[in-house]
Amino acid sequence: MSEDKDFDNLKELDAVCDECKKEDESVTQNLILTGFKICKSCRVSKTIFPI
């Protein structure tokens, strides 16, 4: 059952930023790293994460 749930989540990984609606490969990376579905530009302007 958990595998099915993971598959549903993958279908949402369309790499479109929730903030600016632009498609960017950094959106998927930020979603995995930060939990926010945003591109690198929006990530910088929206929230500062400790490195």
Which stretches of the chain bind Zn ion, using CB under 5 A? Answer: 17, 19-20, 39, 42
Query: Rounded to whole angstroms, how far apart are CA atoms 40 and 37?
Result: 10
Shortest reach from residue 41's CB to Zn ion, in Å: 5
Shortest reach from residue 13's CB to Zn ion, in Å: 15
Query: Rounded to whole angstroms, how far apart are CA atoms 8 and 45?
Result: 29
Q: Closer to Zn ion by CB, 5 or 22: give it.
A: 22
Q: Closer to Zn ion by CB, 11 or 21: give it.
A: 21
- Termini Cα distance of the chain: 35
